[in-house]
Chain A
């Protein structure tokens, strides 16, 4: 138990389908997650890959309990958090954090970078907030003077570093990163990935990295979950998945990636 941070069993989640709601009575439900079972060992970097609508973001949000599953069980370090109320979750929230896809819409435009990073620290009632903010900026490679800037003054890559700083300032055990490089240019993409790699090593973080891009996942992750229409179709070590992908959907995904190579067979 001690070496597993997340233990997920038969996780199911559905949303009401408002487009098919009858005039009277409840809307029919769409199953988003159809019984997922997997574990995340401590210190692992898990890649979660899938197409749009595969349920990868919903799974991530359920893991950090931004949404409540219908059934099944999520154990976080031995504690069942599946249906836990917000009061009980609050002390745990410090230990699992999230980095969002779009740093511009996930950073309050009216607050300075320092205030943004300090926000969760205040909510958790921590001491020495200023020092922690400076430390977080140092760790993500941003100058301390950035604390007094506004998000719109920063580049996309710098904003995403602020998002990372906010997440690590609480010194969490687990971070969920949802498509955090897909909006960035390739040059800043590589920088943010390198940074994340270093932080995982230095802080001993466990990371779930959601992405649609298998090339990015290969670089960062040790294990990969492939989701297709709400089900896990493959759960394999990274090297194995690329050497011998077993699920047809994984094979289809791999063969669809346009490599920067005019000689790639791509039909």
Chain B
């Protein structure tokens, strides 16, 4: 059974403009699923819906999110926060804005354990040190006392990874975790995320626009366009033969230095028109049903 099951999730802007269109996504325990799409496709909004951190103007207007067998909508706000806090964690995109610049790193890792999960401060600190070791941070005791600006981008991202795994969540949502990093640092961080994911058996929902990254770390994937899932497949199958004209076009648009002529091809207008028409037809059906 799926650990996370999103069923027909619809999110609208001020109750009107659809942002997510009946999105259904399943993530089994320990599965690594990519959410792929261009900017505005709604891929980050899926993660935010699960975490309950949607921007104020957006709201869930239909569908269900079932986390570990519980329908989140059926829980009281307090119970919902408790369940999400205990079972789900986030690795954000920008490690600098995600850390409080005026506080030392240590408390930023331990506070979650102390405040939300009720650990003792001593146990939380021991756990944080252990995790910083696990994410290969040299001299973790010194880093615990450092301020975020004293650390490099790669180090900050390691700290956020450590922090995400701290409470042994069953699911981690990684929202473009390496987009802000250099390609050599990106490789280290992706390998670290994969290593941690395997060791802890955590399920991962990996939001990215980069099909290169998908092919390296994910097992399954959902391709989004305009808030609609246009393809849901295994990563290997996708790269062998993409199942939707839009996702096929996305693949040949992706840079690939080993194939300079067969990559970086613009998505043809006809493909965009066809997928736009699919979205419009979907909206007409929804209105007809309502």
Q: A218 to B258: give the CA distance in the assembly, Å.
A: 9
Q: CB within 8 A of B236: which of A187, A219, A262, A264?
A: A262
Instruction: Decide: A257 and B253 in contact? CB cutoff 8 A.
Output: no
Interface of A is mostly: helix
Instruction: Decide: B182 and A51 in contact? CB cutoff 8 A.
Output: yes
Q: A219 to B254: give the CA distance in the assembly, Å.
A: 12
Instruction: Decide: A256 and B183 in contact? CB cutoff 8 A.
Output: yes
Q: Is A148 close to B, CB under 8 A?
A: no
Instruction: Decide: A187 and B38 in contact? CB cutoff 8 A.
Output: yes
Of all chain B residues, the one with the shortest Cβ separation from A195 is: B266
Chain B residues with CB under 8 Å of A212's CB are 182-183
Q: CB within 8 A of B265: which of A190, A254, A257?
A: A190
Q: A260 to B216: give the CA distance in the assembly, Å.
A: 8
Q: A206 to B168: give the CA distance in the assembly, Å.
A: 54
Given contact pairs A252-B184, A262-B215, A266-B216, A215 touches B255 in the complex (Cβ within 8 A): yes
Binary contact track A173-196/B, C-beta < 8 Å → 1, others 0: 000000000000111111101100
Q: Is A261 close to B, CB under 8 A?
A: yes
Q: A190 to B265: give the CA distance in the assembly, Å.
A: 6
Binary contact track B210-224/A, C-beta < 8 Å → 1, others 0: 111111100000000
Interface of B is mostly: helix
Of all chain A residues, the one with the shortest Cβ separation from B255 is: A215
Least CB distance, B199 to chain A, in whole angstroms: 17
Instruction: Decide: B255 and A216 in contact? CB cutoff 8 A.
Output: yes
Q: Is A213 close to B, CB under 8 A?
A: yes
Q: A208 to B149: give the CA distance in the assembly, Å.
A: 32
Q: CB within 8 A of B187: which of A186, A216, A256, A261?
A: A256
Q: CB within 8 A of B184: which of A187, A242, A253, A261?
A: A253
Q: Is B260 close to A, CB under 8 A?
A: yes
Given contact pairs A213-B255, A242-B257, A253-B183, A261 touches B215 in the complex (Cβ within 8 A): yes
Q: A67 to B210: give the CA distance in the assembly, Å.
A: 34
Q: CB within 8 A of B38: which of A186, A252, A258, A261?
A: A186
Q: CB within 8 A of A259: which of B235, B256, B266?
A: B256
Q: Is B143 close to A, CB under 8 A?
A: no
Instruction: Decide: B212 and A262 in contact? CB cutoff 8 A.
Output: no
Q: A253 to B182: give the CA distance in the assembly, Å.
A: 9
Instruction: Decide: A185 and B264 in contact? CB cutoff 8 A.
Output: no
Give the residues from 115 to 132 in chain A that come closer than 8 angstroms, CB to CB, to chain B: none
Q: Is B250 close to A, CB under 8 A?
A: yes
Q: Is A2 close to B, CB under 8 A?
A: no
Chain A residues with CB under 8 Å of B256's CB are 215, 259-261
Of all chain B residues, the one with the shortest Cβ separation from A182 is: B179
Chain A residues with CB under 8 Å of B251's CB are 260
Instruction: Decide: B253 and A258 in contact? CB cutoff 8 A.
Output: no
Of all chain A residues, the one with the shortest Cβ separation from B238 is: A262
Of all chain B residues, the one with the shortest Cβ separation from A187 is: B267
Q: CB within 8 A of B250: which of A187, A213, A261?
A: A187
User: Interface of B with A (CB < 8 Å)?
Assistant: 38-39, 153, 182-187, 190, 209-216, 235-236, 239, 249-251, 253-258, 260, 263-267, 272
18 contacts between A and B (CB under 8 A): A51-B183, A156-B39, A185-B39, A186-B211, A186-B255, A186-B264, A187-B267, A187-B272, A188-B266, A191-B266, A213-B183, A214-B257, A215-B257, A259-B212, A260-B211, A261-B212, A261-B239, A262-B235
Question: Shortest 8 CB-CB distances between A and B: which pairs?
Answer: A215-B255, A258-B212, A187-B267, A215-B257, A185-B38, A260-B211, A190-B266, A256-B187
